[in-house]
């Protein structure tokens, strides 16, 4: 926010926040308007994003095209708040607890010889659909990290940053389990075939196509719709929830519980996603844009869900449930 002189000799909070009636929370004091880039780079502003650098430099053209000219509009982008007010220190408190829980699961079931009890049929599913998912989570990590660089407000950027780190968390769990499974079942292709499955197995090509295309969607508005309203819900419903359910039915308690643990991160991501949709809804024209982008991306996501679930036992039911859940999530936001 570009501010002029402030006359008050006593300030209880940042002058930029002193206009709001309520006392700012710690979250607001540390997260509000923390990127000076947004003084110039917001949808509808005149730019250039970085005025000290030539207007024709690639970076200014990039922000011009992908943020300043975004068709989404809002009168006060800085007014967006994460409903869960996740600050950095809160994030680590939450996630340290979550990771302690995960370590407990990994430790306990390893001591109990969990993996030796996995059936050959289920091992095949894991090698084909679970351990290659580190590539998928990494695409979410990358897309979310990019999204954090191209937002109109730091409060949105922070949400994306935590989402990116959450994806790195999921990918870490998968990598850990990949090695454990490979040690227990040397012949099942664990820690060998993941990249080839990701690049060629029919179950993965839908999600790979979806995420490669999301990764090259650089404009702020469409990226939000493609990633947080369509692709990520599809991934969470198919590759976490439905895969986790199948794991439960095949005595794979570790994957069942790990999936649930990661879905807690999903719930946090959905909470701010819903808040941002509501925030955008305050201005005419935004919701139709979101609907248009959803209509464009949904077929790819549906295709990805179907292809992935085809590899699951009872895959038809899983695909229907996953698709429906993505629609329920959007419908709850009026989308």
Interface with other proteins (CB under 8 A), residue total 90
Task: Note whether 240 binds other proteins by CB under 8 A.
Answer: no
Closer residue to other proteins, CB minimum distance, 62 or 73: 62
Stretch that binds other proteins, among 102-110, 116-124, 257-265, 287-295 (CB under 8 A): 102-110
Q: Which parts of 5-24 interact with other proteins (CB under 8 A)?
A: 5-16
Closer residue to other proteins, CB minimum distance, 144 or 286: 144
Site map for other proteins, 138-167, x if CB under 8 A? x--xxx-xx-xx----x--xx-xxx-xx--
Closer residue to other proteins, CB minimum distance, 51 or 313: 51
Q: At what angle do helices 154-184 and 133-149 cross, to 10 degrees?
A: 170
Find the binder of other proteins among 42, 64, 70, 95 (CB under 8 A): 95
Q: Answer whether 266's CB lies under 8 Å from 325's CB.
A: no
Find the binder of other proteins among 68, 72, 102, 156 (CB under 8 A): 102
Closer residue to other proteins, CB minimum distance, 149 or 271: 149
Cα dihedral 297, 303, 304, 309 sign: positive
Alpha carbon distance 25, 90 (integer Å): 13
Stretch that binds other proteins, among 81-89, 283-291, 306-314, 317-325 (CB under 8 A): 81-89
Closer residue to other proteins, CB minimum distance, 240 or 333: 240
Q: Hey, what are 272's tokens?
A: 């701010």
Q: Which parts of 107-136 interact with other proteins (CB under 8 A)?
A: 107, 110-111, 134-135
Q: Which parts of 272-331 interact with other proteins (CB under 8 A)?
A: none
Instruction: Tell the smallest beta-carbon distance from residue 247 to other proteins (Å).
Output: 20
Find the binder of other proteins among 23, 83, 103, 299 (CB under 8 A): 103
CB count in 10 Å sphere of residue 5? 5
Instruction: Tell the smallest beta-carbon distance from residue 273 to other proteins (Å).
Output: 18
Q: Which parts of 24-63 interact with other proteins (CB under 8 A)?
A: 26, 29-31, 33-37, 39, 50-60, 62
Closer residue to other proteins, CB minimum distance, 167 or 290: 167
3-state secondary structure the chain: CCCCCCCCCCCCCCHHHCCCCCCCCHHHHHHCCCCHHHHCCCCCCCCCCCCCCCCCCHHHHHHHHHHHCCCCCCCCHHHCCCCCCCCHHHHHHHHHHHHHHHHHHHHHHHHCCHHHHCCHHHHHHHHHHHCCHHHHHHHHHHHHHHHHHCCCCHHHHHHHHHHHHHHHHHHHHHHHHHHHHHHHCCCCCCCCCHHHHHHHCHHHHHHHHHHHHHHCCCCHHHHHHHHHHHHHHHHHHHHHHHHHHHHHHCCCHHHHHHHHHHHHHHHHHHHHHHHHHHHHHCCCCHHHHHHHHHHHHHHHHHHHHHHHHCCCCCHHHHHHHHHHHHHHHHHCCCC
Which residues, 6 or more positions from 283, have their beta carbon under 8 angstroms from its beta carbon?
Answer: 73, 74, 75
Instruction: Tell the smallest beta-carbon distance from residue 304 to other proteins (Å).
Output: 11
Stretch that binds other proteins, among 95-103, 222-230, 252-260, 280-288 (CB under 8 A): 95-103
Q: Which parts of 163-222 interact with other proteins (CB under 8 A)?
A: 164-165, 168-169, 171-172, 175-176, 178-180, 191, 195, 198-199, 208-209, 212-213, 215-216
Find the binder of other proteins among 2, 21, 46, 187 (CB under 8 A): 2
Closer residue to other proteins, CB minimum distance, 53 or 295: 53
Task: Note whether 3 binds other proteins by CB under 8 A.
Answer: yes
Alpha carbon distance 210, 212 (integer Å): 6
Closer residue to other proteins, CB minimum distance, 38 or 286: 38
């Amino acid at each position: 926010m570009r501010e002029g002189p402030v006359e008050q000799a006593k300030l209880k909070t940042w002058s930029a926040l002193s206009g709001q009636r309520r006392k700012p929370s710690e979250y607001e004091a540390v997260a509000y308007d923390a990127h000076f880039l947004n003084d110039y780079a917001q949808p509808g502003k005149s730019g250039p994003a970085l005025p000290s650098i030539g207007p024709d430099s690639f970076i200014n053209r990039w922000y011009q095209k992908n943020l300043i000219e975004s068709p989404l509009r809002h009168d006060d982008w800085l007014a967006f708040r994460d409903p869960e007010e996740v600050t950095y220190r809160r994030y680590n408190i939450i996630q340290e607890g979550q990771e302690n829980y995960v370590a407990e699961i990994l430790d306990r079931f390893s001591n109990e010889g969990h993996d030796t009890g996995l059936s050959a049929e289920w091992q095949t599913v894991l090698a084909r659909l679970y351990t290659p998912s580190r590539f998928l989570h990494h695409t979410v990590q990358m897309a979310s990290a990019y999204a954090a660089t191209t937002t109109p407000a730091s409060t949105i950027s922070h949400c994306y940053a935590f989402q990116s780190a959450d994806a790195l968390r999921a990918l870490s769990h998968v990598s850990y389990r990949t090695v454990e499974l490979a040690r227990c079942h040397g012949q099942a292709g664990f820690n060998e075939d993941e990249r080839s499955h990701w690049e060629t197995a029919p179950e993965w090509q839908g999600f790979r196509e979806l995420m490669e295309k999301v990764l090259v969607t650089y404009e702020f508005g469409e990226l939000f719709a493609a990633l947080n309203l369509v692709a990520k819900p599809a991934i969470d419903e198919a590759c976490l929830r439905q895969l986790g359910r199948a794991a439960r039915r095949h005595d794979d308690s570790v994957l069942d519980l790990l999936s649930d643990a990661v879905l807690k991160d999903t719930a946090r991501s959905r909470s701010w996603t819903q808040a941002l949709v509501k925030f955008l809804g305050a201005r005419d024209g935004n919701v139709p844009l979101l609907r248009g982008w959803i209509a464009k991306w949904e077929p790819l996501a549906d295709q990805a869900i179907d292809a992935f679930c085809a590899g699951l036992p009872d895959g038809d039911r899983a695909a229907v449930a996953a698709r429906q859940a993505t629609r329920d999530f959007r419908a709850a936001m009026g989308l």
